[in-house]
Amino acid sequence: MPRDLFVAGLDTTSATIEWVMAELLCNPEKLTKAKKELQQVLDKEREPKDSDISKLAYLNAVVKETLRLHPTAPILIHKSVTEVDIGGFRIPKDAQVLVNVWSMGRDPNIWNNPNSFVPERFLENEKDFRGDDFGFIPFGSGRRMCPGIPLANRIVHTMLATLLFHFDWNLVNGGKSKDMDMTEKFGITLHKVKPLMAIPIKE
């Protein structure tokens, strides 16, 4: 069981980091803002640590916004244990219930400008990863919520902080942000169709 969790976490964590970096490279003003926050919070001579995560409000917002647009698991699969009526729909016992997390994250009834990358929206509300708000459940909700949230949260934020704090980033071959292919490849985990190719530049 622990091994399965780590193996599953590798794929989802790497996919999330790739999507975050892709969105930041597509939105250089957001990248600059995230780097500026890191420079204000961290000492120049040390590595980002777990204890820094809570101080990085904008980086946290960037991760949440990325998971809203590109949820690691775009479809959540559940099974009804008993017959139930939800909003006038009868769900029979043992029915497979698919929750479209991807669609919920882009629902204009829930989000303003749902297809735009706007991390600032998460600085203005209390939505988090715990599934308390049904409009934002990238890791599921309730008893069936992903058990790896604490680990994934630490790894993703610490790795991103390290990548952004120590390096500037450019697309390969002088690529332009506006030309980046952001097409999604749907599956159990949501990946980019064309992997991100970026060059780190030591500051």
Q: Are 80 and 94 in contact (CB under 8 A)?
A: yes
Q: Which residues contact 88 (CB under 8 A, 6 or more apart)?
A: none
- Contact yes or no for 201/169 (Cβ under 8 A): yes
Q: Is 146 annotated as a binding residue?
A: yes
Contact (Cβ atoms closer than 8 angstroms) between residue 72 and residue 15: yes
Alpha-carbon distance of 192 to 181, in angstroms, equals 8
User: Would you say 120 and 93 are in contact if contact means Cβ atoms under 8 Å apart?
Assistant: no
Q: What are phi and psi of 27, to 5 degrees?
A: -130, 75
How far is CA 171 from each of CA 28, 66, 128, 201, rounded to the nearest angstrom? 12, 19, 31, 11
Mapped onto helix, strand or coil, the DSSP state of residue 61 is helix
The kind and range of the H/E element at 167 are strand 167-171
Residue whose entry in the numeric block shows the structure tokens 């989000």? 111
Binding positions for heme are 146
Binding positions are 146
